[in-house]
């Protein structure tokens, strides 16, 4: 087995982690919405 074929075999063996395509638009929107809501909560309660 050459180093190239060993690397190719190792690259195919996924461990169930996140996919390579990255987050989609809905996930970005949901994340930023959570950040804004948390910032509003912190400022309204006077914690900052």
d(CA 38, CA 44): 10
Tell me, rounded to whole angstroms, the distance of Cα 45 from its chain centroid. Answer: 29
**pLDDT at residue 32 is higher than 70:** yes
pTM here is: 0.52
Any idea what DSSP says for residue 46? T
**pLDDT at residue 1 is higher than 90:** no
**In the chain, domain spans:** 24-48
In this structure, the dihedral spanned by the alpha carbons of residues 9, 13, 14 and 15, taken in order and rounded to 10 degrees, is: -140
Residues 6+ away with beta carbon under 8 Å from 42:
48
Greatest Cα pair distance in the chain: 63
Q: What is the pLDDT of residue 7?
A: 59
* 3-state SS assignment for residue 21: coil
**pLDDT at residue 33 is higher than 80:** yes
Confidence bin at 45 (pLDDT 50/70/90) = very high
């Amino acid at each position: 087995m050459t180093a190239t074929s060993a690397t190719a075999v190792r690259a195919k063996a996924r461990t169930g982690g996140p996919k390579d395509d990255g987050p989609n638009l809905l996930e970005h929107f949901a994340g930023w919405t959570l950040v804004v809501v948390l910032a509003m909560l912190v400022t309204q309660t006077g914690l900052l």
